[in-house]
Amino acid sequence: MRVPNNSFSGTVVTQLQKLSVKQLKLRDQVATGQRIANPSDDPAAFTRVLQLQGEKQQIQQFAKNNNRAHDISQSSFSAIEQFKNLSDRAGELAVLGSGVTITQGWAYAAEVEQMIEQAVQFGNTRYSGEHLFGGTKSDVPPFTATRDVAGKITSVTYTGAAAGAEFRISEGANVSPFTSGPENQKLTDFMNNLVSLRDALQGSSASAVQAVRPSLETSENDLLFTLSSIGAKQSRLEANAAQTEARFAELDKLTGAETDADLSQVVVKLTQAQTAYQAALQSGSQILNLSLLDYVR
């Protein structure tokens, strides 16, 4: 009488288990399209993937910063355009006011009075709850108007910070989408030029109106320069956004090269593993049956 070979039986079971695990892993690869599920699947590749993912996360943050900076610059551009519209009208009124009657002067002055109020309002524009032209001091209105007993604005002062916050938009680049301290001060000058124009028109003084015109022209040029500066920043941010998007796509491709399974090869391996499993199962069954028959004898 022969005793079943437990050692050989154990070997057969172990082999079947290995083939079963291999099939399961290959099925997972077919289902997910990924060849790496655990670090042990390919330690070196897994390490590279972690590095790539870290860079992707960093780029995503840069992209968020870039988008926010671009939104701020667009809002700033829109506000400065409003200033430019006021400047255009102020220039027209300065020309019209060169030979005004008292009645006309007071009518034009009333219009400029409303323009002054609008200018202060534009200067204290908010974006996401923060004042656009306040620099780093964005929690309070940056332009303060002094009024007379009748409530009319007699002067405007800038009380914001000298510079705005910066955003990190790439590994070695920061950008501030805000207008600078000098640019904000020029906005203040423009508002005070409007005050001078109003007073000149209200007094129906042609010479006083003429005296204000050069300052208004300077403010017009300053506003055009500020618009140009903001536009240049927007172009830079848009170019950076394109570069960031391209780099992210490249990292995605590199990550895929490390993790994506070659489905045609995986299917072939899965078929081979299934065939090997069936063969091992049949062979093991036959051998174990022979051993049992010997035991019965």
Say which amino acid occupies 280.
Answer: A
- Buried b or exposed e, range 145-178, using 16+ CB within 10 angstroms: beeeeeebbeebebebbebbeebebbeeeebbbb
Tell me: pLDDT of 144 over 70: yes
What's the pTM?
0.74
At the second CATH level, the architecture of 51-253 is Up-down Bundle (1.20)
Q: Which of 39-43, 50-54, 166-170 has the highest mean pLDDT?
A: 166-170
Tell me: pLDDT of 37 over 90: no
Tell me: pLDDT of 242 over 90: yes
Task: Please give the average per-residue pLDDT across 36-46, as a whole number.
Answer: 71
Cite the beta strand spans of the chain per DSSP E: 126-127, 130-131, 143-147, 153-158, 167-170, 173-175
Tell me: pLDDT of 51 over 70: yes
For residue 2 the two structure tokens come to 């022969």
> Rounded to an integer, what distance in angstroms lies between the CA atom of residue 256 and that of residue 250?
10
> Rounded to an integer, what distance in angstroms lies between the CA atom of residue 279 and that of residue 286?
11
Query: What is the percentage of the chain residues whose pLDDT exceeds 90?
Result: 49
Identify the pLDDT of residue 183: 94
